[in-house]
Amino acid sequence: MNKSILLEDLGLKDYKDTWDYQEQLFKSIIDLKIKNRREGSQLETPNHFLFVEHPHVYTLGKSGDMGNLLVDENVLTEKGAKFYKINRGGDITYHGPGQIVGYPILDLDNFFTDIHKYLRFLEEMVILTLADYGLNAERSKGETGVWLDVGTPFARKICAMGVRASRWVTMHGFALNVNADLGYFDLMIPCGIKGKAVTSLNVELGQKEVDMAEVKQRLLKHFINLFEAEFHSSDIHCLVLNNRYGL
């Protein structure tokens, strides 16, 4: 089993371009698995982890309700935002600057073949990261993602998640609000869940801005521990990320 993961930080990148890149990596892993099975070979399948920030964009999962987008596309254009229907699970989600988006494209045969465990591990990675900042984040029963003040009138979501998996290969992932402009969430019913707010790490800490690189580094540290994995990269920026906490 190959538990080495190629880390790439794509910086600020268009959603559709990133989606196409994900699909390319996703397909290449699946094609290799099919080849291994057909030819009886045992070539190692690679794993990838993409960090990215997107320009303002709204995405609707395959089981989502279009009614959860509260404005028409003309308003989105005025706001400088795009809209896509995509092939992950979940409902409507917003991505934008100040948000850390992570796309693990993993062959779970290299780790464990349990999609629910995979989602819980992604949630745990975020929960542990937020604990590093003194926040008591939690899961909310029946609502994938990470929340604060669950079970109270002040419940608010800080991290959304939605994944796709085929032949135990994953794509899409999580979006953690770090320095996000929360006004963009007012244009939708986030994840189709009515009556619950959305928050961002900088708001919770009472800061103007939180160091995004530090948050990424803490996410990676907890991911490594949970998945018993290791990261490698030929990207100088990612090597700096890896080395910052001795990963």
Active site residues: 191
Strands 137-140 and 143-148: antiparallel
131 annotated as belonging to a binding site for a ligand: no
**149 belongs to an annotated ligand binding site:** no
Residue 88 annotated in ligand binding: yes
> Is 174 known to sit in a ligand binding site?
yes
Contact present, 88 and 172 (Cβ < 8 Å): yes
**Is residue 89 marked as binding?**
yes
Q: According to the annotation, is 11 in a ligand binding site?
A: no
91 labeled part of a ligand binding site: yes
**Distance separating alpha carbons of residues 80 and 49, to the nearest angstrom:** 28
| Residue 173 annotated as lining a ligand binding site | yes
Q: In what order do the strands lie in the sheet with 82-85?
A: 82-85, 57-60, 92-95
Does residue 33 contact residue 169 with C-beta atoms inside 8 Å?
yes
Amino acid (one-letter) located at 144: T
In angstroms, rounded to a whole number, what is the distance separating the alpha carbons of residues 69 and 88? 17
* Residues placed in the known binding site for substrate: 88-95, 160-162, 173-175
* Residues placed in the known binding site: 88-95, 160-162, 173-175
